[in-house]
């Protein structure tokens, strides 16, 4: 069973001309979900990862499973205003405006090795902001794992230009 075949493509969502790549169908399939988690973990197993940072929201599902597999802790990277305790944040540019991601101030310790996990890398704005935020918090981002890459949008290359190795499982070019 191929992971690509378990990803549902929804045309014209959330707007005309966009094809939304829905991983809920992958998550519903126990064999596919397990395989995806194993493949997200594989390049980083045994590399001294201290924690996994999952980006809101599907990155929480995948990142939690990856953290479990690596036997490490989990850091929630959330949109501004969603965390209940003291936070630190980084603002980043969107196509029209800005947004912010944040983590709790006690999420990690100086020098800890962090793996970022999310479902999809597109333009890379949120993922690059997560790298900046984790660096600001004293972490060392040693990689980023995604189920889906939309290579035409350039996020993969932006992360690699920041010195972050990127692992993706499937690619949808031209979307």
- Please identify every residue annotated as catalytic: 58, 95
Residues with Cβ within 8 Å of 156's Cβ and at least 6 positions away in sequence, in order, are: 121, 124, 149, 166, 168
From 80, 128, 33, select the one nearest 144 (Cα to Cα): 128
Integer Cα distance of 159 and 143 in angstroms: 9
Taking a C-beta distance cutoff of 8 angstroms, is the pair 118, 141 a contact? no
Judge contact between 59 and 77, C-beta under 8 A.
yes
CA distances 56 to 31, 103, 111, 139, 175, Å, are 24, 11, 23, 19, 22
């Amino acid at each position: 069973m191929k992971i690509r075949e378990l990803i549902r493509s929804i045309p014209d969502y959330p707007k005309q001309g966009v094809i939304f790549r829905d991983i809920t169908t992958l998550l519903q399939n126990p064999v596919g979900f397990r395989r995806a988690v194993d493949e997200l973990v594989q390049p980083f197993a045994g590399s001294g990862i201290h924690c996994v940072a999952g980006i809101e929201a599907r990155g929480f599902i995948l990142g939690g499973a990856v953290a479990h597999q690596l036997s490490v802790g989990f850091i929630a990277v959330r949109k501004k205003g969603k965390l209940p305790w003291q936070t630190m944040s980084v603002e980043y540019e969107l196509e029209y405006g800005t947004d912010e991601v944040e983590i709790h101030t006690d999420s990690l310790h100086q020098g800890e090795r962090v793996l970022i996990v999310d479902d999809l890398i597109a333009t890379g704005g949120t993922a690059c902001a997560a790298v900046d935020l984790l660096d600001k918090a004293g972490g060392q981002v040693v990689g980023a794992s995604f189920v889906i890459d939309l290579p035409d949008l350039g996020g993969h290359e932006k992360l690699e230009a920041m010195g972050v190795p990127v692992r993706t499982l499937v690619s949808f070019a031209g979307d």
